[in-house]
Amino acid sequence: MSQFAYTNGILHAEGNSLEALAQSIRTPFYCYSTAALTHNFQAFENALCQRNSLVCFAVKANPNLAVINTLSSLGAGADVVSEGELRRALAGGVPADKIVFSGVGKTREELRYALDKRILQINVESLSELKLLSEIACENGVEADIAVRVNPDVDAVTHEKITTGRQENKFGIDISAAESIYEYASSLPGICPTAVAMHIGSQLVDLAPFRTAFKRLRELVTALGGAGHQIRRIDLGGGLGVSYNGESYDVPGPELYAQVVNEVLGDIDCTLMFEPGRVISGSAGVLVTKVIYVKKGEGRNFVIVDAAMNDLIRPALYDAQHDIQPVRLPPADACTQLYDIVGPVCETGDTFARQIAMPDIIEGDYLVFNAAGAYGASMSSTYNSRCLVPEILVRGKEFSIVRKRPSYEEMFSLEQFADWQE
């Protein structure tokens, strides 16, 4: 059951009227449901309950501290890709021994910080990174538990900008070279290769690429074991998709995903690690916006809202479609029209939907973009000098502002005149 539903004709987030929140807080804003976050995390974790596993939330999907804390209180670990995300995970209450650090471009400073915090695992993605990590570990008198992130050369059949498991992608080390890399890693001081990792992409709605990649990973783990390497953990990454708008296919849930995991890796004596992001937070959040103008033209009706591509860039960046619905439920016999839903930014790309049928919209109406809890606020910016969008967390009938909208003065305070300017 969705935690975003109509009550007395008004769309609610759990026990909170989104119309009342919009009038109180001012749009646009993101609203997250504690109940939805909890349900999504537990559904994923429970699907894997027969396995020795660790579910690490992909912080890049939604790095809000309150969201991280909600999930860490449920036992979630964290998958991070920068020192900033690592610091957020720790600040949000995630224990260091449940944090895995991925990413192709970790700097010396970031690796040193990760070692200093004694995190669970660093996923190494190049030979150069492996050498640098060995050097830093020796300098600090510690040993780094690592996984080599392998690239299994599997097409995830997803958007080209979010696929990560093909040979031409920048991520990981070619799986054909993995055995020699592990042999080399075992000879390096300060390096303890205890795990294998992969991640083939995001928003996967077909389980076949997972199955193929898992089989290739299984073959590698078996070969490594035969060569005497003690592999204790297998990091399978994330990538399971969610339902947005305009999709004619059924999106597989955690149960079907877990079935593939168990069929391919069920008898492997290793802890399995997972890095879900979108499937945890995506459906747990909405973006609430207000209609500024309805602009009727000869061939198009434009609905101009106060949210823009700087608040939700997925449609402009990935051609993504989010289901859009009115906060106030229209009458059953309401007439519908075709609209383009657009934002105020000076870019034609600032378009959320084209020619969608919706009940009559008038200026002042509130609309919501559904399934906006992942890669929404986390990718927001101040383009066009628009203040960052605020974020709200609800729990039952309670709500709290968990990222405020900064003032213009606060935004400008990050800048200064040059020394020679008055």
What residues are annotated to the active site?
A: 346
No. of helices (H) and no. of strands (E), the chain: 12, 21
Write the CB contacts of 136 (distance below 8 Å, at least 6 apart in sequence). 108, 111, 112, 115, 190
CA distance 146 to 223: 18
Residue type, 287: L
Secondary structure of residue 25 in the 3-state scheme: helix
Closest CA to 205 of 166, 145, 163: 163
**CA distances to 17, 284, 289 from 37, in Å:** 19, 6, 22
CA distance 42 to 45: 5
CA distance 222 to 268: 9
Question: Which ranges in 103-247 belong to alpha helices (H)?
Answer: 108-116, 127-140, 178-187, 208-226
Closest CA to 79 of 64, 98, 51, 65: 98
**CA distances to 125, 157, 298, 302 from 198, in Å:** 10, 16, 51, 44
